[in-house]
Amino acid sequence: MLLLLLGIIVLHVTVLVLLFVSTIVSQWLVNGEHTADLWQNCTSGTIFHCLASSTNGECCLLLPIAFILL
């Protein structure tokens, strides 16, 4: 019984780590020279420029989106 509980805990921790890593790595919006994800918005024209997502007025949505994904 203890082995089963330990296996379930390891499985849940593994899933949480994989979801967190996939949230960090993924780019949600790719449109020509503009990419956006949960953490930053980037433009890649002649100069590669990134802004934190919270500076674009959508900071109120980032926390619920992160909780929904995790």
Closest alpha carbon to 29 in 21, 20, 41: 41
Instruction: Domain ranges for the chain, please list them.
Output: 1-69
Note the pTM of the prediction, 2 decimals. 0.44
Q: What is the pLDDT of residue 62?
A: 64
Q: What is the pLDDT of residue 29?
A: 64
d(CA 1, CA 6): 9
For the chain of 70 residues, list the mean pLDDT of each consecutive stretch of 10: 95 89 69 71 74 62 70
Q: What is the pLDDT of residue 67?
A: 73
Q: What is the pLDDT of residue 30?
A: 67
Alpha carbon 34 to chain centroid, angstroms: 17
Task: Say if residues 54 and 39 touch (Cβ distance below 8 Å).
Answer: no
